[in-house]
Structure 1
């Protein structure tokens, strides 16, 4: 019942937002029956349908080619809708100010004009001066036969026409500015995703790390989100970027894919080219459990990566552990800290790979020195970071919880709209530092 109510509220909100956007961009700026109004009205129906199709197609078993057809316009419209709406809301504050400014200018201009020679009376006089009446006047004919000039329009209708003209100008000016701001923001955010993630570097001291492991570098990659939009070229960009950092170890902390191995196996193939001294390790994210986690674990193993399913390995100077994502609990494959960390030597430093930051409390309880996570995307689309803060202890960056430090990367890809605003994608090179060095 609660889910149905939430769905109804979300649908009502989506309809209301689309109605508002249509009114400001189409209803207020175009003439009734015009081609532009008809085109804008059709778009107001088609675009949200494409968005719904993009959202549901991935989990409804439709062919992958159809998912790709729906994904680009459907997901991009969701991002565009957000920033067009925000730009229009800013425009609501500007709209009355601009109308008052134009009205004041019109009043000032009208105060200096000859009341007997208004634009309306001038137009009426020109209409009365036809070639026939001009010739008749020149020949001295009886002017009493000329048609009398039409009376000027009433002042009230003149004022109404001027006000309507100002409203139309303001609607088009504010709508145009909002379109440039909103679509420009989405365009720049899309470019940032398609360009690929940038490298971020951070040094993290660990109290139990021996001097021999001082300077050990871990390339942290999360939330690649291969799917109907981000494919093989996206994977190759990430692999090339990681390899250029020459890390000692690569940690892929979940949400690698949004789709099955059958559809996305070719897109993931460049991962076989990851290179580091101690190899590449992988833990599941929640999206793997929407896409066939067991098949993907087997596939990444075939690509040369090492899945850590509630398991631990010893690296020079510290233990590297990994736990399954919370999303696996419905399949009996959730995180198991006892298996991953229960019997370890606590005199050694421990680095934990866990997709979601919310597992930090378990990490603290098991004496982990550093947890590496993703999942949040840093909010991905501002102001989404404020929403992400409601359900995650850390949205991005490094924070300390007791004796445990938590580092959250913004991720290397994007979910849904291939757009990032205020949360650029990154691959983080974490350099471990020994306090004994």
Structure 2
């Protein structure tokens, strides 16, 4: 005769199993997955007929701390891809001494054309907070902050690497013989974006082979404006892809902005009225030092290969 198992014993067994699964998930997310750096690749037919393909490397949200040497080595290794253009969508720093790590990570890209915009963690350091509050909605700005040496970061990016600052600005860039008109805004999550100022910088520029809109935070108002003004490609970061996702789900649990959750990571299409453009939102390479976890959301960079239209 089979032994009957009491209800309390069944409950205890179930509770133990749930606890073990939760502990295993925490070990994976904190100790393993956040170090599994991944390169995503996409081909986009955006160039004029007859143009040679070009490679655009999109990096974002490094949130660099000085001790993160594995991350530094991986970012540096991406220079071996020989991109024609690097687009950096901000939040490079994750610590008051993070610039040293960014120098190590990005030094191999010196001489490769690049553009960048700022995220808030290029100007102010992250502060301790309850990681669970991330799931309650877009984060709120802190009244007291620790300033970062943004001037030193910009001197490195602009003077040493030769990259162009697109914060509320625009510029012409040559990438592998393709003339790109690039424009962007500063961190819209902090309301630092100024679209009027960006349009003033954009107006006198000649037409290019390609128009690219760049933003740290992919708020709808920014993406709508870029698309309505003829952007051929939209590039953004900020969301961390949700950072913690249900494995296999196409949607993030949160995005930390107002973008639809199913567009908070990866390549999709953004439509405004009759206009549309490919949108790449990077899940980012790093995380806040106060929330050192990724689950179901690998840290990433993206290589976009642009080819001629049919």
TM-score of the superposition, structure 1-length normalised? Answer: 0.55
Alignment of 1:383-398 (within 5 A): 385-388=252-255, 391-393=258-260, 394-398=263-267
Alignment of 1:16-415 (within 5 A): 105=4, 167=8, 169-190=9-30, 191-195=32-36, 197-206=37-46, 209-211=47-49, 213-227=51-65, 231-240=68-77, 242-260=78-96, 263-275=97-109, 278-291=112-125, 292=148, 293-309=150-166, 310-315=169-174, 316-323=177-184, 324-327=186-189, 329=191, 334=194, 336-346=197-207, 348-358=209-219, 359-382=222-245, 385-388=252-255, 391-393=258-260, 394-400=263-269, 401=271, 402-415=275-288
Question: Relative to structure 2, which stretch is displaced further, 302-311 or 212-221?
Answer: 302-311
Aligned CA-pair RMSD: 2.8
Q: Closer, same or farther in 2 for the Cα pair 1:425/1:399, shift >3 Å? A: same
Larger Cα-atom Rg:
1
User: Quick one: distance in 2 between partners of 1:227 and 1:278?
Assistant: 24
Map of 1:429 onto structure 2: 303
User: What 5-or-longer segments of structure 2 have no aligned partner?
Assistant: 126-147
Larger strand proportion of the pair: 2
Q: Is the 8 A contact 2:44 2:306 kept in 1?
A: yes
Q: Closer, same or farther in 2 for the Cα pair 1:278/1:227, shift >3 Å? A: closer
User: Quick one: distance in 1 between partners of 2:207 and 2:181?
Assistant: 13
Find 1:420's aligned residue among 286, 291, 294: 294
Q: Is the 8 A contact 1:239 1:274 kept in 2?
A: yes
User: What 5-or-longer segments of structure 1 have no aligned partner?
Assistant: 1-101, 107-162
Q: In the comparison of the two structures, how many residue pairs are matched? A: 266
C-alpha displacement at 1:177, in angstroms? 1.4
Q: Is the 8 A contact 1:327 1:334 kept in 2?
A: no
CA deviations over 1:151-210 (Å, ceiling 9, x no partner) = xxxxxxxxxxxx6xx62x445423321222112112222312123x2111101122xx23
C-alpha displacement at 1:267, in angstroms? 1.9
User: Quick one: distance in 2 between partners of 1:178 and 1:304?
Assistant: 49
TM-score of the superposition, structure 2-length normalised? Answer: 0.75
User: Quick one: distance in 1 between partners of 2:104 and 2:157?
Assistant: 11
CA deviations over 1:388-433 (Å, ceiling 9, x no partner) = 2872142122222223221112111223422211221211100112
Higher relative contact order (CA 8 A, sep 6+): 2
Larger helix proportion of the pair: 1
Q: Closer, same or farther in 2 for the Cα pair 1:232/1:185, shift >3 Å? A: same
CA deviations over 1:86-126 (Å, ceiling 9, x no partner) = xxxxxxxxxxxxxxxx9x816xxxxxxxxxxxxxxxxxxxx
Q: Closer, same or farther in 2 for the Cα pair 1:256/1:305, shift >3 Å? A: farther
